[in-house]
Structure 1
Amino acid sequence: MHIHQLYRYPVKSLGGQSVASLQPEIRGFADDRRWMFIEPNGQFISRRAVPTMCEFAAEVHDDELCFVRISDGSILGAVAGARNGEKQVDVTVWDDSLTATLIEDAGIPAIATGLGIPGARLVYMTSEDHRPVDARFAKDGEEVSFADGFPYLVTSTASLDDLSGRVGENLDERRFRPNIIVKNDVPFDEDNWTGLKIGTHRFRLPKPCARCIMITQEPDTGARNLRVLAELSAYRKVGNKVMFGMNACWEGGVDHVKVGDPVSVEDR
């Protein structure tokens, strides 16, 4: 097995970047979901409520955060010094409350309006802002960014191919918002993985990922295909949850993780 693809999503709920190599960190890959748009009261804004957010992606270039319209590659706007801010604000991500740094840039109101979230504010998670992984599944010291619950999401090519065959179309891997896609041959073998070695890095896989209505959304247009969730529910339901992919935490390693790196199962 080897790494087929790597993704990071700089801004929560916006499209991400396919990147040849990424630096793992305790909270996820560097620059993965470190920014987030919030309501004036600090509540996070998600494409669950604003599906048109999927039409845009965020890219990091040095210290600039760039917002791109996916359909034609046009630039909606950019924020220079996107990691710099002086004001701390309280934010809420699901049941978690924490502080984050408010990014105050003259271009943000226009960007927010273009994204369909007028009045939204942009925040950044610095090294001083802490959000623990759910204590039911965490080891001491494990943290997560603004992602829904865990620092990493691992999927496999064989599982996607299996689901695509049942749905009757080649499903875009991006609809599942993975960080690490493993090239393999056995569908849903990842259900049995509890530890992976990727290059010099080790990842712990504490639980499967429960999926929601967002996986029915075409990544570039927002068009819904409800059959994706229906087909997955037919054979991947555990209790009242539908599973696809594995949540993961980083347990150390040196240098970057790269597309093509060998992947081995350390624990099952």
Structure 2
Amino acid sequence: MSSTILTNVTTYPIKSTQGISLNNALVKETGLELDRHFVITDLNGKFITGRTKSALVLVNSNITATGLILNAPGMPELRITYNNFSNKYQNVQVWNDEISAQHCSNEIDQWFSMYLNFSCRFYYLGEHSHREVKGLDHKLSFADGYPLLLISEASLEALNAKLEHPVAMAQFRPNLVVSQCLEFAEDGWHKIRIGEVVFEIVKPCSRCIFTTVNEITGKRNKQKEPLSTLKKFRQAKDKEIYFGQNLIALNEGSIKVGDKVEIISKHPPQEYSVSN
């Protein structure tokens, strides 16, 4: 088999909304530049995701020199400008972490509240915000637990071969997609180099109900697919279901689509039970 290559790079500026495909990207300690640097919360500061508000996956972002431009079904276009953000910081909750986050503006709060039909607020990972990966001296954005997620095309193909209705890679929300490797080869990788960056694969990614949300319709699959099928061959002893690998970047640098993926070192892959 020819060398493994990077085939897709995706950043998700707003947690749980649509990703933006990039031809090249700067990788920082927190992951891809701008990835999960915005989060939507309830009025108490608890984060909101597509797990409970699946319509978020239909919110489209475009990056500009001064901020973002947002579009969503039935909503007027919204321009987000960094210079208009408030100077107020408030603690927001992402899982068990409390992060001091910069409140953006009442106008943006109202836009998301109207779209979701739910009172909410919108925050940015400002210069005074700080969060670390658990157990590692490594900065983190509003991502679930790790800065980056990698999945191979072969792994998705192996899953889709078991599904009645194939799913798109977008339902798993990876930052990095690679091709020209065996299915689940990434399970055994420990350190890899892509472009200028060395990555350490620190943990398989446990999957939840969010993977059942169709990225085009914003609706959940009633049969809980593909999670139900994944459970049959990707459930570990801890009863979690895993698909994809969490990464941290060991240095900052640039990567681009077409870069070779160099496997620097390997480790024993997680074991999974298989059920009928």
Q: Could you tell me the TM-score, scaled by structure 2's length?
A: 0.89
- Find out whether 1:152 has 2:126 as its counterpart: no
Query: Which aligned pairs between 1:1-268 and structure 2 lie closer than 5 A?
Result: 1-69=4-72, 76-81=77-82, 84-114=85-115, 116-135=116-135, 138=136, 141-225=137-221, 226-239=224-237, 240-254=239-253, 256-268=254-266
The question of whether the paired residues in 2 share the 8 Å contact of 1:16 and 1:59 is answered with: no
Mapped to 2, the partners of 1:127 and 1:110 lie a distance apart of 24
Q: Relative to 1, partners in 2 of residues 1:148 and 1:107: Cα closer, same or farther, differing over 3 Å?
A: closer
The question of whether the paired residues in 2 share the 8 Å contact of 1:90 and 1:97 is answered with: yes
Q: Which runs of 5 or more residues in structure 1 are unaligned?
A: none
Question: How many pairs are equivalent?
Answer: 260
Deviation at 1:108, TM superposition (A): 3.8
Between 1:201-210 and 1:222-231, the stretch displaced more is: 222-231
Deviation at 1:104, TM superposition (A): 1.5
The CA RMSD measured in Å over matched residues stands at 1.8
Q: Relative to 1, partners in 2 of residues 1:228 and 1:41: Cα closer, same or farther, differing over 3 Å?
A: same
Q: Percent identity?
A: 28
Q: Relative to 1, partners in 2 of residues 1:204 and 1:67: Cα closer, same or farther, differing over 3 Å?
A: same
Q: Relative to 1, partners in 2 of residues 1:160 and 1:82: Cα closer, same or farther, differing over 3 Å?
A: farther
Deviation at 1:76, TM superposition (A): 3.5
Q: Which amino acid aligns with 1:250?
A: A
Q: Could you tell me the TM-score, scaled by structure 1's length?
A: 0.91
Mapped to 1, the partners of 2:53 and 2:108 lie a distance apart of 21
Q: Which runs of 5 or more residues in structure 2 are unaligned?
A: 267-276
* SS across alignment from 1:187: coil
